[in-house]
Amino acid sequence: MSSTTLQQLADQFALEIDGDPDYEIGSLSTLASAGPDALSFLANPHYLDHLNSTQAGAVLLSANHADRFSGNKLISPDPYLSWAKIASDLHPVLPATPGIHPTASVAANCKIHPTASIAAQVSIGPDCTIGERVSIGPGCVLEHGVTLADDARLVARVFIGHGCNIDKRVLIHPGVVIGADGFGLAFEHDHWIKVPQIGRVVIGPDCEIGANTTIDRGAIDDTVLEQDVRLDNQVQIAHNVHIGAHTAIAGCCGVAGSTRIGRYCMIAGASGIGGHLEITDKVVITAMSTVLESIHEPGHYGSGIPARPQRQWQRLLVRLGQLEQWSARLRKVEKKPL
């Protein structure tokens, strides 16, 4: 990144300066590893003690914590949000070079905008439409009839199944599979019969799909992600799931078929959500939770059991095994006349 001054950052991102406005920033870093030319930030109070030892030339933090640091400060009502904007501005994604690599395989009847970039070993099937400034990284595969709208970016080794539609500014990380068949099976006597999966996957604008995540195509209707949905790495979205706008799902979560998740939801890591459920808007599900019933009221929900010291956990398991016996004894006591 090129150097900038605190004054330039304050003007560009509407921040307050406490310190030398001409101080030059040449890097971004954590509080623990920052040097004198670095800007760091404090968003989590757990790291307050690091302010005493950091060598950062300046720290981005809230007014509530400003008196804990004696050096140059940029003050923001939301330091983490301001940090995200500053980091994005100072470390932009390098633009891809337009053109089609000689080793790419592109069907003759595709519509590809001349500003699109198609890297080595890409395979694009018939009737695909590639919009302006689309970047398709090495080793990606698009089956027939795929649409990538303007500024979509496939980093590398992404598979997109036939007929799927990816809207503007969608970012898809390596190893993602979009539009593989959903898990549709019918049992006949002593064996399974595959149910054809004839729907698509439709992804709205500004979504981000993490590495090695899978999104199955719909069985009949489409699997849908609305605008600004964010999926972390290794998330499984089954067929006909519908995810509302601005919802975020953390790593290793699984959502079973035909479930509808509302807008502005947050689902923490390793959670599992059953099929054919309805989850309303603004629901937060804590880590390692299992959701087997619909949720109709906004709020925080969870079922994960936090880790404990092993001996304590073993005692709890013993008591759990005794619950049925204790319950039977309690019922007998309750039946006795006073």
Query: Would you name the residues annotated as active-site residues?
Result: 239
Burial of 21: CB neighbours in 10 Å, binned 0-12, 13-18, 19+: middle
Using alpha carbons, list the distances in angstroms from residue 311 to 144, 314, 315, 321.
57, 5, 6, 16
What is the number of other CB atoms lying within 10 angstroms of the CB of residue 245? Answer: 17
- φ and ψ at 253, to 5 degrees? -85, 155
Residue 106 in 3-state DSSP?
Answer: strand
Alpha carbon 223 to chain centroid, angstroms? 17
Q: Which of 278, 276, 249 is nearest to 261 (CA)?
A: 278
246 token code pair: 């601005």
**Does residue 225 come out as left (phi exceeding 0), alpha (psi in the -120 to 50 range) or beta?**
beta
Nearest-angstrom CA–CA distance, 190 and 167: 43
Task: Using DSSP bridges, classify how beta strands 191-194 and 185-188 pair: parallel, antiparallel or unpaired.
Answer: antiparallel
| One-letter amino acid for residue 84 of the chain | A
At 151, the amino acid letter reads: D
What six digits make up the tokens of 269?
A: 């890591």
Please, what sign has the CA dihedral across residues 328, 330, 332, 334?
negative
What are residue 229's phi and psi, to 5 degrees? -80, 135
Q: Letter for the amino acid at 314?
A: Q
DSSP conformation class of 183: -
Q: 223 to each of 168, 243, 270, 286, how far by Cα in Å?
A: 17, 9, 21, 24
Distance CA 221, CA 257 (A): 12
